[in-house]
């Protein structure tokens, strides 16, 4: 029995407006991958192993994160530029407005434009060392992701992706407010939304019903996190407000010393989630790779994402 089966919206069994014809046999979904800039030479080697492994899958784009308070600014910049120079990937640089003036952020935006980067992921960001902590905008800075999006678009004709919480943002009064914020970002120039990762599939689909009913039409990529370390997941999600269903905890219960089984479960859960989303009409998936390729690669294979024939011929 599926752990992710969607309940019907009513006694007649009719699904909400998100339900559409799913991805057909042979149809390739669009995938994108998120990486983080490395802190050490060893971490850099691991990152580039993951990049090289996933590059042949021809993702729509890959994103590189930006640390709290801009703490990884230089490393993010170097990683994005190396991707642009050494791979066929289309890198998207994360950018936040925390702990920086408008002038400093604008300088980063112009540097990306001049380097050939045409896609930025605009996020408000967290204070340094305080994920989920109280945020106070600088008087001379961008106040939020909506202002940052407008600032990016004023400088160049970038594609701008923005974040979206499928479960209420920790600082939001409710879902309606989150949807209003998303619409404001779109009005400011956002062209795509990427959701925070989630595990409550039914809740996500109900949320998406409301988003689309509100008139939002831009592409929205569900965020997928293949989880093989449940303890690490709980620690990560605590300040983020991500809901962890009981069934997920039960799956990993007693497996602290069994990494192989944890990895098999992680792949199974994430693959089923993607398959169910595909049945509901979603064709874009954004994977939080944690700079590891194996689980994401395997899930993509199940979804029908293969190395394009042209890439195989070029490598031959």
CA distances (Å), 139 to each of 67, 79, 102, in order? Answer: 21, 30, 10
Q: Is 69 left (phi over 0), alpha (psi -120 to 50) or beta?
A: left
**Cβ neighbours of residue 228 closer than 8 Å, sequence gap 6 or more:** 259, 262, 263, 265, 266, 295
Q: Find the helix packing angle between 145-155 and 175-188, rounded to 10°.
A: 10
For residue 11, count CB atoms less than 10 angstroms from its CB and return exposed for 0-12, middle for 13-18, buried for 19 or more. Answer: exposed
Helix (H) or strand (E) holding 120: strand 119-122
**Cβ neighbours of residue 208 closer than 8 Å, sequence gap 6 or more:** 18, 166, 220
Examine the residue annotation and report whether 34 is marked as an active-site residue of this protein.
yes
Among 34, 55, 147, 280, the one annotated catalytic: 34
Residues serving a catalytic function are 34
């Amino acid at each position: 029995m599926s752990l992710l089966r969607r309940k019907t919206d009513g006694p007649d069994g009719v699904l909400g407006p998100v339900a559409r014809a799913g991805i057909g046999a042979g149809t390739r979904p669009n995938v994108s991958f998120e990486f983080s800039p490395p802190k050490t030479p060893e971490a850099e080697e691991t990152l580039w192993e993951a990049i090289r492994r996933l590059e042949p899958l021809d993702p729509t784009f890959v994103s590189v994160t930006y640390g709290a308070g801009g703490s990884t600014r230089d490393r993010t910049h170097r990683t994005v530029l190396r991707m642009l120079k050494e791979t066929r990937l289309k890198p998207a640089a994360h950018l936040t407005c925390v702990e920086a003036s408008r002038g400093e952020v604008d300088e980063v935006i112009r540097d990306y434009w001049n380097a050939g980067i045409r896609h930025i992921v605009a996020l408000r960001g967290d204070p340094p060392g305080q994920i989920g902590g109280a945020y106070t905008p600088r008087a001379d800075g961008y106040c939020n992701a909506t202002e940052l999006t407008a600032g990016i678009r004023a400088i160049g004709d970038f594609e701008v992706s923005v974040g979206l919480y499928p479960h209420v943002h920790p600082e939001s009064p409710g879902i309606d407010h989150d949807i209003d914020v998303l619409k404001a970002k779109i009005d400011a120039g956002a062209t795509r939304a990427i959701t925070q990762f989630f595990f409550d599939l039914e809740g996500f689909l109900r949320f998406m019903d409301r988003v689309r009913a509100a008139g939002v039409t831009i592409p929205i990529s569900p965020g997928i996190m293949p989880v093989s370390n449940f303890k690490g997941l709980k620690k990560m999600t605590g300040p983020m407000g991500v809901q962890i269903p009981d069934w997920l905890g039960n799956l990993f219960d007693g497996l602290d010393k069994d990494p192989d089984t944890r990895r098999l479960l992680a792949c199974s859960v994430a693959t089923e989630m993607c398959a169910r989303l595909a049945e509901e009409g979603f064709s874009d998936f954004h994977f939080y790779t944690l700079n590891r390729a194996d689980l994401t690669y395997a899930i993509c294979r199940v979804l029908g994402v293969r190395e394009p024939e042209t890439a195989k011929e070029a490598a031959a």
